[in-house]
Amino acid sequence: MRRSRVVALLAAGGFAVAGCSAPGPAEVTFYADGHTINTTPVLTCDYSRQLAQPCSAKGDTKTLKVRPGKPVQISVPGEVADAPWQIVYEYVTPQGEYKQSDPIPFTSLDRYAYTVTPPTPADRISAVDVQKYTAVLNSSTGESGLLPSDVWGLRLEA
């Protein structure tokens, strides 16, 4: 009888510890031309350690198919929406020329979604990056600024 109580207590403790594990990285959801994909950051930067290389690649960029003229919808979690963030996208013209958008910043700290629309119905979006920013203080100069802390990427194919 005593042994079964010990086993039950150990099992309950294991479930409690498993329930306290740290959450995974934030996911950004992309929707394009009838397809949805959730992505984790492809680049993460930690400026608190003062390393020469504060950023590290975290994985492969996901891919979706999209036809010319179709938009890409982006949904970010609260962790991203509660910080300054921006979108940069690339598109292909009908002549095969690749062009990059100006950054589209969000600083109101309450924006959870955005739809990227190609400049013309003949253009096709080929890549979208979501970049979350963090405030960084340079301890030697006293200057502060915003630097990217996480980047989620999506590549789009015809």
Q: Where are the domains of the chain?
A: 28-156
- If pLDDT is split at 50, 70 and 90, which confidence band does 22 have? low
Most confident of 25-34, 45-54, 133-142: 25-34
pLDDT number for residue 4: 43
Q: What is the pLDDT of residues 58-95, one digit of tens each?
A: 888 999 999 999 999 999 999 999 999 999 999 999 99
Q: Which CATH architecture has domain 28-156?
A: Sandwich (2.60)
- Res. 49: pLDDT tops 80: no
pLDDT number for residue 3: 45
CB 81 within 8 A of CB 134: no
Give Cβ neighbours of residue 106 (< 8 Å, ≥ 6 apart). Answer: 81, 84, 85, 86, 87, 114
- If pLDDT is split at 50, 70 and 90, which confidence band does 102 have? very high
Neighbours of 36 (CB within 10 A): 11
